[in-house]
Amino acid sequence: MRELRLVGAGGEPVDLVRTLNSHGFVDLPPMKPDPDYRATELTVRTRRGKPRHIRIESGRRGYAKLSILGPASSNGVADDVTDVVRYVLRLDADLSSFYAAAADDEQLSWVTTGAGRMVRSASVFEDVVKTICTTNCTWSATVRMVHAIVANLGEPAAGAPPDTPWGRAFPTPEAMAEAGTGFYRDVARAGYRGAYLESLARSVAAGELDVEWFGRASADELNDEELERRLLALPGVGPYAAAHIMMTLGRYHRLILDSWTRPTYVKRAGRKAATDAAIQRRFRRYGPYAGLAFWMFLTRDWVDEA
């Protein structure tokens, strides 16, 4: 068992439950939250050996508790797993300036108690794949595709049951590159997205495309405009997908405007209608955090207020 101090890089508080229910991807394997999002299970790859199945939950005040389930693990493996969890929970992010801006906003000041930390997948590749699986389809179709990809191509942790997506790490680009066109068509039933996924996996596996760098690069090395341009160049990634991927990368300037967020904004704001431009004006004051502020505005009721 390990403990993780729930504090952001700027000393700001971290609300674990809000983080574990920060956006739809937390409900996709290899993550499996409890129904109330007060804890989650997750299967992660480590530098050596099989993936590990773990559980993250509240610990003593101000801490999360991390348990590695299954066979006993060495300290090295526990260190690896801890690093992955810190990454997934985005504990390295500094949201203090976002909170400073939100404190003056009557409709968003509630976030300063620790909301706004968006879960990210263990790799940028995984977030790109999942995002492509959300395009032009219902959420149930996204679930079907991602379940098939993880259940069939993901490496199982020790003791993982067969034929389920749970207990398996998200597949490597190599595994997805080798799966074959028939897998995407007949098993994942990804339709025309299959070609996008296969092309993406092949480029990454071949070392021609380094999507992980998109997550590591600073804003000086890779500014938002250039990053967006590169994301739009990926197969199957258009304006919506680029904005969503940028959110997972911690680039919150762009608002995710899609068939769910637009009507949800109108409802939450108590309006009859709102143009994209009007929505963007509402959150412009947040500058680089405009997209995050928008997302918080939409998802306030995802967690019961204490």
Partner DNA sequence: CGTCCAGGTCTAC
Partner DNA sequence: GGTAGACCTGGACGC
Binding site for DNA (CB under 7 A): 23-24, 134-141, 144, 185, 189-193, 196, 232, 234-242, 244, 256, 258-260
C-beta closer to DNA: residue 72 or 277: 277
The burial class, CB within 10 Å (0-12 / 13-18 / 19+), for 142 is buried
Choose between 78 and 297: whose C-beta lies nearer to DNA: 297
> What DSSP element (H or E) covers 31?
strand 31-33
Nearest to 30 by CA among 164, 211, 124: 164
Q: How far is the CB of 43 from DNA (least distance, A)?
A: 21
Q: What is the layout of strands, in order, in the sheet containing 31-33? A: 2-5, 63-68, 52-58, 39-44, 31-33
Q: Kindly tell me which of 88 and 256 has the beta carbon lying closer to DNA.
A: 256
| CA angle (80, 123, 253) in 5-degree steps | 125
Neighbours of 1 (CB within 10 A): 9
Shortest CB 159 distance to DNA, Å: 30
Nearer to DNA, 37 or 196 (CB): 196
CA distance 129 to 146: 9
Identify any residues that bridge with 40 across adjacent strands, giving them in sequence order: 33, 56
Residue closer to DNA, measured from CB, 137 or 158: 137
* Closest CB 45 distance from DNA, rounded Å: 24
Contact predicate 168/43, CB 8 Å: yes
Distance in Å, CB of 179 to DNA, minimum = 16
Residue 138 burial class via C-beta count within 10 angstroms: exposed 0-12, middle 13-18, buried 19 and up: exposed
Q: Minimal distance in Å, beta carbon 267 to DNA? A: 13
177 or 242, CB closer to DNA? 242
